[in-house]
Amino acid sequence: MGLQSFIAERKKVKDLLVMAHVVCGYPSFEDNLKELEIMAEAGVDVVELQFPFSEPSADGPLFVHANEQSLKSGTTVDQCFELMAQVSARFPFKVLMMGYYNTAFKMGEDVFIKRLKAAGGVGFILPDLPIEEAGSLHALAAEAGIEPIILMTPTSSDKRLAKLGAASRGLVYAVARKGVTGSKTNMGDDVIGLIDRCRQHTEVPIGVGFGIGCKQDMDFLRGHADMAIIGTAALKIWEHSGADGLRAFFKEMMA
Amino acid sequence: MDIFDFSDGREGYYGDYGGVFLPEILHATIEELLECFRECKADPKFWQEYVALLQNYSGRPTPLTHLENLSRELGGAQIYAKRDDLNHTGSHKVNNVMGQGLLTQRLGKKRVIAETGAGQHGFATATMAARFGFDCKIYMGAVDVARQRPNVFWMENLGAEVIAVEDGQKTLKDAVNECMRDWVTNMADTHYILGTACGPHPFPEMVSWFQSIIGLEAREQILAQTGRLPDRVFACVGGGSNAMGLFQGFIDEPTIELIGCEAGGEGVGSYMHSARLAYDDASVGVAQGYKTYFLQNDEGNMNETHSVAAGLDYIGVNPIFSHLHDTGRVRFEAATDAEVRETLKQTMRTEGLIPALESTHGFVVALKEAATMRKDEIVIVNMSGRGDKDIFTIADALDDAKWKSFIGGKADQYRAEKK
């Protein structure tokens, strides 16, 4: 089942889906599996596995540190795909690759799509690959039934949103605010306005990410977004209060 | 040949290199910048204003000096140095910065940010911001902050805030990433003054355009002084802005050889260098907003780089040079740290000139080749920066015992004052 129909199925039983995030190999692959197990138990719907990159310029301090430490401990692309294969076979959630374009470019776009498909991934998020540069990769993805996740942002003009909408497949990632991952977002009319504007330009479901970290954020998004994307907040909890903390966090977020 | 004529190809591409690889959130900002830059480039008044500013504030045109002693000593080609070291703030960086300052005014923005490696670009940006009345934040790798305190001192005294970047290798590339993070947050009132001809389009074109003033002057000057054009033109290449600047004065003459001089660090096979094009260790990749040759591993993660000159210590090279390397229009050579130390001493003693360690890389290759050329041939080398203000770094590089004992004495004095 492709990402979009998977989301449609899930939406029949819950009104706000959840996407969670781990950085492969940080703090370790063992920890990743423990985190993912908790996420699966909590009923997380989609998980993005971030392949670490040495220049993560769209990420905030916590993920920058995670990327750096993961690479320092020797994480390879092979290991990331292995993790992907393992978790997509074992857990009910769908798995996306998240990372930077150079990872895909360096192995070759065709190899990237093949390996992603073979590992059970259903899509990818490459924040530094604008649609103008994505033609060949998106074509390869379409052939393989892999969804490229397009980002829509508060600074995108209507003209731009129309262009992005035309390229969107599976899921749109609406970036709730300017900046990098990890800082707080004030959920308010701006975010609602952004979701409404995105809806005018795409038929695919909309996930909202950047700065989602508490129950109030979830309540706020319910009825507006199709999916809440939780990144930094979960890693922060994992680092401060481990497995029990993370279990409690997702339980509360998804209540 | 107009390398910036994109009508036959893709906008912002030089062969296979260049482009814009940025987060979607910056799309509108880059469009706005591109539009503003196109207006400026098409407006002769803008260029006039730019030249006047550099003349009245920075001492342009900088001279072209015949290095008679070195030429005689080597017994080969006549060597001329383009003296961009005589700019205000001590290097060619001020050209680009003043140009982008005028552009920031046109954009109506009030705040500027910049990355810096050696500190030259940060110093120039802080100077420009003081002059134009912009708020200014400079990002600099923590390692560079530690080894370039004098430039940090000046930036802070000029009113800029200097942020020591603690991520990654804590050097130039990490400062670039941190600028990107600031920019994706504050683009509404902030212009990013990128310091070299790298990064996403239109930066490579824009920085090259501002720096072309070096080549325009040099061409006129060599014709006035010798009645002919040079045979070879040399410049050091970190990101490549000073070389792009000088080369543009000569690129349309197919008989003039252009030679880019990269940082060979500890030499071929050492993996402790920053030679992207002269050595075979780099491969094509996409990072920091553009596609070019990077010093990276098989999985696309960047390798550590090294140079005695912090300003050349960088993973990538401007996309225009990647293209001109492929086409063979520019030849790339490398100078090692050891060669740089020797040539610096030679240049100081023979000509009374103190090139920056960065610029000395150009001198190494220029002197080597000039010695093998005929006496009636002419070479120009870009003295893109002056070394005397980097006394700490140069004294270190030359391992000067008297300097070390002086600093030791100073340290004792400060310690005593503290008590």
- Which positions of B are catalytic? 93, 115, 384
- At residue A186, the pLDDT reads 85
* pLDDT of res. A183: 80
Q: What is the pLDDT of residue B168?
A: 85
CB distance A106–B296 less than 8 Å?
A: yes
Per-state percent for chain B, helix, strand, coil, to nearest 5: 50, 20, 35
Interface check for B150 against chain A (CB to CB < 8 A): the answer is no
For A185-219, how does the pLDDT look when each residue is reduced to its tens digit (9 = 90+)? 888 899 999 999 999 999 999 999 999 999 999 99
Residues in chain A within 8 Å Cβ distance of B187 = 155, 178
Question: Does B185 touch chain A if contact means CB atoms closer than 8 Å?
Answer: yes
Kindly state whether B113 is in contact with chain A, defined as any CB-CB distance less than 8 angstroms: no
User: CA-to-CA distance for B179 and B138, rounded, in angstroms?
Assistant: 8
The architecture in CATH of the region B14-56+92-203 reads 3-Layer(aba) Sandwich (3.40)
Report the distance separating Cα B39 and Cα B43, nearest Å: 6
Interchain contact B5–A (C-beta under 8 A): no
Q: Domain ranges for chain B, please list them.
A: 14-56+92-203, 59-90+211-397
Which chain A residues are closer than 8 Å to B299 by Cβ?
A: 76-77, 103, 106-107
Q: What pLDDT sits at residue B164? A: 97
pLDDT at B418: 86
Tell me which chain B residue has its CA closest to the CA of residue A56.
B177
What CATH number should be reported for the domain whose range is B59-90+211-397? 3.40.50.1100
pLDDT the model gives residue B195? 95
CB-based contact B24 A153, cutoff 8 Å: yes
Closest Cα in chain A, distance from residue B304 (Å): 11
Which chain B residues are within 8 Å of A58, Cβ to Cβ? 23, 180-181, 184
CB-CB neighbors (< 8 A) of A76 in chain B: 299
List pLDDT tens digits, range A95-148. 999 999 999 999 999 999 999 999 999 999 999 999 999 999 999 999 999 999
Model ipTM? 0.96
Residue A174 has pLDDT above 80, yes or no: yes
Runs of H (alpha helix) within B26-171: 27-42, 44-58, 68-74, 93-107, 120-132, 142-147, 149-157
Q: Cα-Cα-Cα-Cα dihedral of A211, A214, A220, A223, to 10°? A: 100
Residue of chain A with shortest Cα separation from B185: A179
Tell me how far apart the terminal alpha carbons of chain A are, to the nearest angstrom. Answer: 26
Chain A partners within 8 Å of B301 (Cβ): 52-54, 71
pLDDT at A9: 95
Rounded to whole angstroms, the Cα distance separating B374 from A99 reads 55
Q: How many domains does chain A have?
A: 1
Q: Indicate yes or no: CB of B301 within 8 angstroms of CB of A53.
A: yes
**d(C-alpha A88, C-alpha B310), whole Å:** 45
Q: Which of A57, A58, A106 is facing B299, going by the closest CB pair? A: A106
Does residue A162 carry a pLDDT above 80?
A: yes
Inspect the interface and report whether the beta carbons of A175 and B24 lie closer than 8 Å: yes
Confidence at residue B416, expressed as pLDDT on a 0 to 100 scale: 95
Q: A117-156 b/e with 16+ CB inside 10 Å = b?
A: eebbbbbbbbbbbbbebbeebbebbeeeebbbbbbbbbbb
| Domain encompassing residue A142 | 3-253
**Fold match, B14-56+92-203 / B59-90+211-397:** yes
List, for chain B, all residue ranges whose pLDDT scores fall below the cut of 70. Answer: 1
pTM check: above 0.90: yes
Contact B299 A128 (CB under 8 A): no
If you measure CA to CA, which chain A residue comes closest to B286? A102
Cβ(A77)–Cβ(A51) below 8 Å: yes
- Which residues of chain B make contact with A151, given a CB cutoff of 8 A? 23-25
From the list B168, B185, B299, the residue facing A68 with the nearest CB is: B168
Find, in chain B, the residue whose alpha carbon is nearest to that of A129: B21
Contacts of B21 in chain A (CB under 8 A): 101, 128-130, 133
Interchain contact B300–A (C-beta under 8 A): yes
Average per-residue pLDDT for chain A: 96
What was the pLDDT predicted at A63? 95
Question: Is the pLDDT confidence value at A1 over 80?
Answer: no
Q: CA gyration radius for chain A?
A: 17
Instruction: Mark yes or no for CB contact A160/B181 under 8 Å.
Output: no
A35: pLDDT strictly greater than 90: yes
Note the pLDDT tens digit of each residue in A41-64: 999 999 999 999 999 989 998 999
* Residue B346 exposed, middle or buried by CB count within 10 Å (0-12, 13-18, 19+): middle
Q: What pLDDT does A180 receive?
A: 87
B129 close to B89: Cβ distance less than 8 angstroms: no
Do B227 and B219 touch, CB atoms closer than 8 A?
no
- Write out chain A residues lying below 8 Å of B20, CB-based: 130, 132-133
End-to-end CA distance of chain B: 66
Picking from A55, A60, A127, the nearest residue to B23 by CB comes out as A127
Helices (H), A91-227: 101-107, 109-118, 135-144, 158-167, 189-199, 215-221
Active site residues of A: 48, 59
Q: Cα(A243)–Cα(B214) distance, rounded to whole angstroms?
A: 61
CATH at A191: 3.20.20.70
Give residue-wise pLDDT tens across range A67-108.
Answer: 999 999 999 999 999 999 999 999 999 999 999 999 999 999
Q: Do B287 and A102 touch (CB under 8 A)?
A: yes
Residue A67 C-alpha, separation from nearest chain B C-alpha, in angstroms = 9
So what's the pLDDT on residue B146? 87
Choose, out of B286, B292, B296, the residue to mutate when testing the contact with A (most A CBs < 10 Å). B286
Q: Which of B181, B286, B302 sits opposite A54 (nearest CB)?
A: B302
User: B189 near B35, Cβ under 8 Å?
Assistant: no
Rounded CA gap, B335 and A12, in Å?
A: 66
Give the C-alpha separation, A142 to A140, whole Å: 5
| Confidence at residue B277, expressed as pLDDT on a 0 to 100 scale | 98
Q: Is the pLDDT of residue A2 over 90?
A: no
Query: Which residues, including other chains, have CB under 8 Å from residue A3's CB and lie 6 or more apart?
Result: A46, A94, A96, A122, A123, A147, A169, A170, A171
CA distances from A237 to A76, A208, A249 (A): 25, 20, 8
Rounded to an integer, what distance in angstroms lies between the CA atom of residue B336 and that of residue B340? 6
Task: Kindly state the DSSP code that residue A168 receives in the 8-state scheme.
Answer: -
CB contact under 8 A, B299 and A77: yes
Rounded to an integer, what distance in angstroms lies between the CA atom of residue B231 and that of residue B346? Answer: 23
- H or E stretch at B267: none
Which chain A positions have a beta carbon within 8 Å of B29's beta carbon? 155
CB within 8 Å: A105 and B285: yes
Cα distances from A164 to residues A190, A197, B63, in angstroms, run: 19, 12, 51
Kind plus residue range of the DSSP H or E element containing B17: strand B17-18
Closest chain B CA to residue A183: B185
